[in-house]
Amino acid sequence: MDPLNRILIAILRRLPENLIKPVALRYIAGENLEDALRVVGNLNVRQMMATIDALGENVSTREESLQAVQACERALQAIREKNLDSNLSIKLSQFGVKIDDAFCRENVKRILRTARSCGNFVRIDMEDSSLTSRTLKLYGIMRGEGFENLGVVIQACLRRSETDVKTLIRNQVNVRVVKGIYVESETIALKDREEVRRNYLKLLQMLLKTGSYVGIATHDDFLVEGAYQYIREMNLPRTVYEFQMLYGVRAKLRDQIVADGHRMRIYIPFGKHWHSYSLRRFQENPQIARYVLQALLFRNH
């Protein structure tokens, strides 16, 4: 990240939440499940799918984890009741992986059972590198126990990801490919933008060639064009992949991908923990941070 962007992020971190919230909520459905369901319904009308994320991670108590499980179960049940086209994304640190592995596994299993009874699907998001191995291990355990309604995420910025993909593709997998937003050391992560792009396309090609279902998660025109090329070259049916984007980001590109006939899923976060989520998004995309600061500076002009 260049020095100016670092300064922008530092400024936003120090601003009162009530100043940031009106602008930040452009990228979040709202604080309540009902807000997320409303957004999903609007997207479905426009021929787009969704994945709901009940915000909150790095919990410190079992009680918080169990509350998060209940929130996810309510979301899955509401999706079924309203007949919406949406699945669920979760983070293991929200379900107690840093408290106790066995406790976390039981929480995830409970969510998967609820999802299965609702005819739905759950994807485990990736977090920072300290949880990569544990996330992939839990994913393997759950698949081994017969939960087919489960997917995982691979981060193109991590040097280990090619090896991880080679392991994953031994089985039929459902993988979301992302660049990765967490700040990692150069020993384990690629730092050059073009290197990350090349690795993204390499991993994407590996997965598509071996019959995995792939969520092509990107807002990068270069990567979208690369994905289009692979899709054409492999003559892939539209049912074996989908594009994925964040709510509120690059709507014109999103709409163009849909107009081109590809499936699109939008990541819909909601909840009280919107502030920490927003700061991560600003760090990932400093241009959004600039929009936020401009909106704050000129809102009365």
Which residues are tagged catalytic? 125, 176
* Largest Cα span, the chain: 59
Q: Which two tokens stand for residue 175?
A: 């993988």
> At 78, is the secondary structure helix, strand, or coil?
helix
88 close to 52: Cβ distance less than 8 angstroms: yes
Q: What is the CA radius of gyration of the chain?
A: 19
**Taking Cα atoms as reference points, which of 165, 161, 163, 206 lies closest to residue 179?**
161
Looking at the DSSP assignment, which residues form a beta bridge with residue 244? 217, 265
Q: Report d(CA 71, CA 53) in Å as an integer.
A: 10
177: left (phi over 0), alpha (psi -120 to 50) or beta: beta
